[in-house]
Every structure is written in C-alpha cells, then in structure tokens.
A and B are shown apart, each in its own frame.
Chain A
Amino acid sequence: MENRLKVLRAMRNWSQAELADRLDVSRQAVNAIETGKYDPSLPLAFKLARLFGMQIEEIFDDGFKGGGDE
C-alpha cells in the first residue's frame, strides 16, 4: 500500500526517530511503513492520522479507484 508518510514527515522536518517517538513505535517500524514493506495496524493508522491532523485515506492509498456504492 502506498502512503505519503515520508513527505508528511519531511514537511515537518522530523527524522524517522522523532516520528517513531511521537508514535511510540520503533524507528524500524516507521521506515518499514514509509518504504511500503509493512502496512500498519488500524490503531497505528489512526494514531498517524491524528498526529498529522488528516484522514487515514489522505495518508494511505490502497489503489482503489471505484466510485460506486461500495
């Protein structure tokens, strides 16, 4: 799953370690999410969204392009 975490972090001038501290996870977790090697759990995704003041969908993109009633 693609995400904008690296860009959002850079906009705030935070290092991976600093973001990891704010999320109370390891730096490796932040790196794995940024590089798309790991999709965070729902609680961690909500935590990220709250930290950046955004909706989860504004940070993560699952590639779904449908516009129906789903």
Chain B
Amino acid sequence: MTVSKEAVMSDAGKPAKRPMSPRRKRYLTALGLAGLFGGILGAWMQIAQSGASPTDLAMLSNSPLTPNFAMGASVIWVVGMIVSLILYHRSVDDHEERAYLWAGTAAWYTFTLAAPTWWVLHRASLAPAPDVMLLFVGALAVNLVVWLWLKYR
C-alpha cells in the first residue's frame, strides 16, 4: 500500500509523525525491558553486596552476596532475559538479525579461544584460575562491537 506525500503532511506543511509500527513497538519494548531488568539487578546488587566498600562497583567485584539476593537475581536474570529475547527476536528485521547472528558467532569464537587456553595455562600454573565472569564480559564486549559495526557502519 502506498501513501501519498500529502497524506503524511500535517496542516503546517511539515511531515506528520507516522504511527509506530507494531514491530518497532515490540523492539523498543524488548530493549526497555532488558534495560529495566538490568537496572534493577545492578541497583539491587550494589545495595546487597557485603564485605565491600559502598563505593565499589558491585558489578565489577567478586565480593560475597546474600543468598536472598543471589536467588532473586538469578530468577530476574533468567526470566528477564527470556522475555526480552523473545520480544527482541520477534521484532528485529533481517539486517539486525544478521548482525546479531554474526556478533553471537564472534562472541562464541572469543570464548572458544579464550576459555580452554586460560584453563590449560592455569593447570600448568602459568595463569590464575579462570574467571567465568571475565570470560563472559570479554565475549559480550566482542559481541557488542561486532553488532554495532554491522548495524551502524
């Protein structure tokens, strides 16, 4: 269906704001929910961390956490990720899906190269014990860079 140019012009002669498509609404909802869940987790973790200075960033620490927080955060993480990802994958277009898939592949390769290498080096006492969160953050960073490059270059 085509819409004439006049149909999208307001009375003032400026282009009228087109209504948001359902796909875009779902997309923004997915991003908003992911941000909300992440924000809640980050703030709650900052409050719940024990044995560390209040100025230390809990997300960058391995300090102890309370069992209640750990259980609650796990539930929020799993449920939040599942809901957000279902909405996200139902709303991305071809182009972004391709960026997502290549970014995920690059992240997986990063993990595949780094984890076993670190593990064998540690077993030979040539490196400290592998840190799962460091591996996760490294893979996530590669994912983000590749995704941004393919989507916005």
Residue positions of A touching B, CB distance < 8 A: 13, 18, 21-22, 24-26, 28-29, 32-33, 37-38, 40-41, 43-44, 51
B143 to chain A, nearest CB (A): 18
B18/A21 in contact, CB under 8 A: yes
Answer whether residue B21 sits at the interface, using C-beta atoms and an 8 A cutoff. Answer: yes
A38 to B81, CA, bound (A): 28
A37/B153 in contact, CB under 8 A: yes
Instruction: State which residues 79-100 of B face A: CB under 8 Å.
Output: 93-96, 98
Residue positions of B touching A, CB distance < 8 A: 2-3, 5, 8, 18, 21, 23-24, 93-96, 98, 151-153
A13/B5 in contact, CB under 8 A: yes
B51 to chain A, nearest CB (A): 45
Q: Which residue of B lies closest to A20 (CB)?
A: B93
Contacts of B23 in A (CB 8 A): 24
A51/B2 in contact, CB under 8 A: yes
